[in-house]
Amino acid sequence: MARITRRTLIGSASAAAMAPALARAQKKYDPGASDTEIKLGHTNPYSGPLSAYGAIGQAIKAFWNKVNAEGGVNGRKINFISYDDGYSTPKTVEMVRKLVEQDEVLAIFQLLGTPTNTAVHKYMNAKKVPQLFVATGASKWGDPKHFPWTMGWQPDYATEAGIYAKHILAEVKDPKIAVLWQNDDSGKDYFAGFLKGLGKENEKLVIASVSYEVTDPTVDSQIIQLKNSGANVFFNEAAPKQAAQAIRKVAELGWKPEIYLANVSASVTSVLKPAGFENSQGVITAAYLKDPTDKQWANAPDFLEWKKWMEKYNPGANLADAFNVYGYAVSSTMLEVLKRCGDNLTRANIMKQAASLRDLEIPLLLPGIKINTSPTDFYPIQAVRLQRFKGETWELFGDVLSNESE
């Protein structure tokens, strides 16, 4: 029989005490993560009819370049792999499969577009790969019960449109409403939320609604049709290129409705300037991020930090383009999730951390708006403020609103 000494007992006790610490310190990786690297996948329409959104992808690349230059995330560099899908769903499917099956990314981050995300929605959940902080406000991204691997980020379109509807009912005398909407899931979601905000008893106030295809060269014929309806309110639910065309055509026709503009097209650089500042006066939209043209943020610490980043890491981009604010803010949210993951870089832990954000403040969110998620709440941002275009910039007015706000 082996002789048991005091030293043996002490050694055994020490090993037992160390075991939990070793277990805690053990690193866990899924494909796309290692001691040195985290791979994130992404597609964006860098070309095609919605190429204005390409600025978001470029901003995200520049954000991770800054993170990597400063040492990465918990010592790991971010390998951000971004492909051009041209806002074509077959191309998105091809590129996302490549990212997951060949590039073996840990997660898909900020995939842009409602129809494009829809095309890979079931695939991502079947593969159990995070489809995280998607660049679309369709309400379907907040369904953890059926799609636990997909999460939105920005306020959902239905909430946003409902807020416009309630503002119209409160502020416009005898409203007669015309709606231009994009003929895909995003446009249908906006329109449905708008009607819900009006309420069944007021749906008849929408006297004209016309859709367009993203491939249409112009929306001139649609605007002529809407103007001829006699409407005094125009809900311009269109992507940047078409939204700018619509505002310009409204002015050319001498039509003078109250204009409400979808937040996805609130960029001064991509929409209001091409539409003509003189044609854009008084346009109302929703905001949840600080607009770079709004002088009240000029000396805010987060704005100064963003501007410094723009000058160093994204120098070719336009400081007035809100898409650069968007890319920085959503990437800041992803950075926080990755930091919280520590050395447990599994796909399941990424979703767990993304669904555990309480009262999170990130750079460039408007004061009073925070990120909140839970295992049953996959809508990170659910509040906005309204703003009106004046001169060459947006001016905020009113309080922070949600669709439940009175």
pLDDT given for residue 299 in this prediction? 96
pLDDT given for residue 194 in this prediction? 96
d(CA 333, CA 363): 9
* Residue closest to 321 by CA, chosen among 88, 57, 2: 57
**Which domains are present in the chain?**
37-155+298-375 (3.40.50.2300), 157-287+386-401 (3.40.50.2300)
Q: Which two tokens stand for residue 121?
A: 């929605």
**Exposed, middle or buried, 145 (CB in 10 Å: 0-12/13-18/19+)?**
exposed
Could you give the count of Cα atoms lying within 13 Å of 24 in the half-sphere of its Cβ? Answer: 5
Cα 200 to its chain centre, rounded Å, is 29
pLDDT given for residue 10 in this prediction? 42
pLDDT given for residue 230 in this prediction? 98
Between the alpha carbon of residue 279 and those of residues 24, 250, 392, the distances in Å are 61, 8, 11
pLDDT given for residue 402 in this prediction? 76
**Residue 405, pLDDT above cutoff 50:** no
Query: pLDDT-derived band of residue 25, with 50, 70 and 90 as boundaries?
Result: low
pLDDT (tens digit per residue) in 48-90: 989 999 999 999 999 999 999 999 999 999 999 999 999 999 9
Whole-model pTM: value is 0.88
Cα 260 to its chain centre, rounded Å, is 20
Average pLDDT, the chain: 93
pLDDT (tens digit per residue) in 285-301: 999 999 999 999 999 99
